[in-house]
Amino acid sequence: MPQFASYDGTKIGYRVLGEGTPLVCLPGGPGRTCNYFGDLGGLSASRQLIMPDTRGTGESEDAADPSSYRCDRLVGDVEALRAHLGLDRADMLGHSAAGNLAILYAAAYPQRIARLVLLTPGLSALGADASEDVWRAALERRSGEAWYPEALAAVDRAEAGDQSAETRRAYMPFYYGRWDDEARAHDEVGFSGRARAVRANFRSEGAFNPASTREAIGQLTAPVLLYGGELDADPAPEALAAATRLFPNATVTVQPGAGHFPWVDDPALFADAVSSFLT
């Protein structure tokens, strides 16, 4: 895996897959390695996917300063990657927690964004997270599933502060359109105890200033696609639609029957929709 030196000398590893116009893909978690992207449902057939590991994870070095794992500080790594690749402007995709990172990057460097895909994104950077009622209603949509009682109990444990691996595994069915063998296998990819420092610092105090970010994003002229799953609760489709209105040039797509990882639930549908937006 190639590496580059970021603004503070930390070596960042990144994976390259496919050929064509580069698409920088920022992995979520926070702290999950880029391997869980796979080939993004076959999107690598039409685009060159550039997938960095967040500092402190995978093939990237640990940071000397743990506060540099904070979401707004990670913007510097994204800009260093763009410069390393020699791109004047970049197509960019931010998934899940890295939706926040992609939003903060676009707010800081709007002139460097060609097109932006916010894929089942975290919306804390915009102060646009769903209300408790909307989130709970989205969870309730899965009540007919056999795994629902156990998964909902795990959600409640997590909300009470239980961040154990066992609890995380128990609530993960909510994140997939189908909780089958393929989903179970995908759920195991990219997690590491090494990333605890990233998870602990990503959302620490000062990471987000929603008012400032909304003002900056209001000046972004690049096309933006907010892409969600019909069955996802984080973000629920309702929250995604509301967030779309914060961007001057944005559209929303909600993939039927999909959860938080739409490229796993229906690879061809996902790849076609995102490729169409990017071209």
The whole-angstrom separation of Cα 25 and Cα 47 is 11
123 within a domain of the structure (yes/no): yes
53 within a domain of the structure (yes/no): yes
Determine the structural domain holding residue 244 and report its residue range.
Answer: 3-138+198-278
The whole-angstrom separation of Cα 95 and Cα 37 is 9
Helices (H), 127-195: 132-140, 148-159, 165-171, 181-187
Q: Tell me if residue 242 falls in helix, strand or coil.
A: helix
- pTM of the predicted protein model: 0.97
pLDDT score recorded for residue 208: 98
pLDDT score recorded for residue 193: 85
The whole-angstrom separation of Cα 16 and Cα 23 is 10
Q: 71 near 104, Cβ under 8 Å?
A: yes
What sign for the dihedral angle of Cα 201, 202, 205, 206?
Answer: positive
The whole-angstrom separation of Cα 166 and Cα 164 is 5
Helix/strand/coil percentages in the chain, nearest 5 = 45, 15, 40
How many domains does the chain contain in total? Answer: 1
Q: Over the Cα atoms of the chain, what is R_g?
A: 17
116 within a domain of the structure (yes/no): yes
The whole-angstrom separation of Cα 246 and Cα 12 is 32
The whole-angstrom separation of Cα 253 and Cα 226 is 6
pLDDT score recorded for residue 192: 86
For the record, the structure tokens of 82 come out as 């763009």
CATH of residue 206's domain is 3.40.50.1820
154 within a domain of the structure (yes/no): no
pLDDT score recorded for residue 163: 86
144 within a domain of the structure (yes/no): no
Nearest to 13 by CA among 21, 27, 22: 27
- 37 phi/psi in degrees, rounded to 5: -65, -30
The whole-angstrom separation of Cα 65 and Cα 73 is 11
Q: 193 near 206, Cβ under 8 Å?
A: no
179 within a domain of the structure (yes/no): no
177 within a domain of the structure (yes/no): no
158 within a domain of the structure (yes/no): no
For the record, the structure tokens of 108 come out as 């800081």
Mean pLDDT, 10 residues at a time, the chain of 279 residues: 97 97 97 97 97 98 97 98 98 98 98 98 96 94 97 96 92 97 96 92 97 97 98 96 96 98 98 97
Q: Tell me how crowded residue 221 is: count the other CB atoms within 10 A of its CB.
A: 11
What sign for the dihedral angle of Cα 133, 138, 139, 142?
Answer: positive
